[in-house]
Amino acid sequence: MLVVMQPNASSSEIDRVCEEITRQGFKPLPMPGEVRTAVGLLGDDAKVDWSYIEGLPGVASVLIVQKPYRQASREWKGDNTIVEIAPGVRFGGDEVPIVSGPCSVESEEQILTSARLVRAAGGTALRGGAFKPRSSPYAFQGLGKQGLELLALARRETGLAIVTEAMDERGADLVAEYADCIQIGARNMQNYSLLRYVGTLGKPVMLKRGMAATINDLLLSAEYVLAEGNPNVILCERGVRTFDSATRNLFDLTAIPVVHKLSHLPIVADPSHGTGLRDKVTPMARAAVAAGADGILVEMHPQPDKALSDGAQSLYPEQFAELVLQLRTIAQAIGRSVPTLT
């Protein structure tokens, strides 16, 4: 349930609504806006005496949120949520930040070289896995804490924000210590205990769509993070699996406008995992920005042919630099911009 206040509602009237919601045994969540304040209700609103609340002074209307996800819904919050993971790196507004780097952190030289290339080309955040969930237990699993330390070193040298994945609660604590944004990968999208846990850490969360997940599933997973009091959730479309083997996954461009209609949360696009093929990454990144993506997450490696993971989908440095130029042009054409670090 969402209580929409009158534009001129006083603070005491808003407090009175919150007190009544608390009296009925529920938790109020005030959400001040530019024009008016709304008060959300956490809990089973079927048990709420909403008619009494609707009659309180300063209340304009009461909306019953019908979606199974509440705080993630557009009904809950009409304005777009803007998530800032570091100074100047914002998702959900007019800017379209570019996050890039290798699939995994392999060495100090490799990640520092990658960070310099990302910064020089115009990216604002560095991605790179310290913990790598791999299909095979014999594949490279990442450097762990050492990888996080190298990412932090790259941030100190280049100023890039850091986005990296956590696989479990212990790893989430480490990622929260070293990184600016905790990524939850596709394989963990429905790891609800992990989602609840990262929701308590006070760090922005980038939540990737599962390989067989519907958009409804994705938004319900985001709800687990939001329900723990963390409003800073960035969704990520990274492709779903289908019967077609032409690409690694099916990159679902329609997820971008669909999410924008259903939710106030920003959604970024990952065409690297979405296609799994280097020559498909650039056209799909261009299409994603044109479709309204709030950011691009793309893999780039200084030497893709020597990468320890996902080399086939990693752009060469010169391809990445050209892509950034193209994305700037597309963003400008639709009234947006690709930011750079100052």
pLDDT tens for each residue of 322-341? 999 999 999 999 999 999 99
Would you state the structure tokens that stand for residue 93, as one six-digit string? 């507004």
Per-residue pLDDT, averaged over 202-221, amounts to 97
Residues of the chain above pLDDT 70, percent: 98
| Equal CATH topology for 2-63 and 83-333 | no
Which helix (DSSP H) or strand (DSSP E) does residue 333 occupy? helix 317-333
Burial 176-202 (b: 16+ CB within 10 A, else e): bebbbbbbbbbebbbbeebbebbbebe
pLDDT of residue 170: 94
Closest to 141 in 3D by CA, of 265, 253, 309, 289: 309
pLDDT of residue 46: 66
- The amino acid at residue 39 is V
CATH class (in words) of the domain with range 83-333: alpha beta
Q: Which parts of 179-316 fold into alpha helices (H)?
A: 192-199, 215-227, 255-262, 271-275, 278-291
Q: Which CATH superfamily is domain 2-63 in?
A: Phospho-2-dehydro-3-deoxyheptonate aldolase; domain 1 (3.30.70.1140)
- The amino acid at residue 234 is I
Per-residue pLDDT, averaged over 240-251, amounts to 90
pLDDT band with cut points at 50, 70 and 90 for residue 142: confident
Report the C-alpha dihedral over residues 299, 209, 292, 72, rounded to 10 degrees: -140
- 138 has a pLDDT exceeding 70: no
CA distance 67 to 46: 13
CA distance 98 to 295: 6
Report the C-alpha dihedral over residues 194, 201, 115, 118, rounded to 10 degrees: 80
CB distance 238 to 218 below 8 Å: no
pLDDT tens for each residue of 120-137? 999 999 999 999 776 777
Per-residue pLDDT, averaged over 235-254, amounts to 93
CA distance 30 to 46: 20
Average of per-residue pLDDT values in the chain? 94
CA distance 96 to 257: 15
pLDDT of residue 50: 84
In the chain, where are the structural domains located? 2-63, 83-333
CB distance 99 to 123 below 8 Å: yes
CA distance 173 to 166: 8
C-alpha pair distances (Å), 122 with each of 46, 87, 125, 133, 317: 50, 16, 9, 29, 12
pLDDT tens for each residue of 42-94? 776 667 888 889 999 999 999 877 778 889 999 889 899 999 999 999 999 99
- Lowest average pLDDT, out of 28-37, 161-170, 185-194, goes to 28-37
Q: Pairing relation of β-strands 2-5 and 59-63?
A: antiparallel
Q: Which parts of 93-214 fold into alpha helices (H)?
A: 108-121, 145-158, 169-178, 192-199
CA distance 225 to 159: 27
Q: What is the 3-state secondary structure (H, E, C) of 153-182?
A: HHHHHHCCEEEEECCCHHHHHHHHHHCCEE
- Residues linked to residue 62 through DSSP beta bridges, in sequence order: 3
pLDDT of residue 141: 72
pLDDT tens for each residue of 284-337? 999 999 999 999 999 999 999 999 988 999 999 999 999 999 999 999 999 999
pLDDT of residue 248: 87
CB distance 38 to 62 below 8 Å: no
Would you state the structure tokens that stand for residue 162, as one six-digit string? 């850091």
pLDDT of residue 48: 81
Residues in CB range of 265: below 8 A, 6 or more apart:
72, 81, 83, 92, 219, 222, 233, 234, 235, 259
pLDDT band with cut points at 50, 70 and 90 for residue 1: confident
Q: In which residue are the tokens 């320890």 written? A: 308
pLDDT of residue 327: 98
Per-residue pLDDT, averaged over 214-240, amounts to 97
